[in-house]
Amino acid sequence: MITLWKHNWNFTSTALHVNIKKETEKAVQFEVFDNPKYTFWIPKKALKLETDGNDYTVATIAKWCKLGEWYYKAADRYANHYKR
């Protein structure tokens, strides 16, 4: 399980628990841990993946990355929101 962080412009952070479903040269497809039916793609150049040993544990999405509707639906329902 990976915690996918998105630091928003309004001084909040969103933490969404996901798994990597597919990975290509240019993008990574994530599925939401709580509901695997929700999947979305994020470009690799917009991700900062951190590893703990052999597995990814934390991923941060760049602020400039414009995310699609599927990410926002998943974040509204399954993510935790924190004030910075």
pTM: predicted TM-score of the whole model, two decimal places = 0.84
Tens-digit pLDDT string for the chain (84 aa): 899 999 888 888 999 999 999 999 999 999 999 999 999 999 999 999 888 777 778 999 998 998 888 888 888 999 998 987
Q: CB neighbours of 8 closer than 8 A, spacing ≥ 6?
A: 14, 63
pLDDT digits (tens, 9 = 90+) for 57-75: 899 999 899 888 888 888 8
**What pLDDT shows up at residue 61?**
94
Instruction: Report which of 37, 82, 29 is spatially closest to residue 59, judged by C-alpha positions.
Output: 29
What is the end-to-end Cα distance of the chain in Å, rounded?
A: 23
Q: CB neighbours of 19 closer than 8 A, spacing ≥ 6?
A: 1, 2, 30, 31, 33, 36
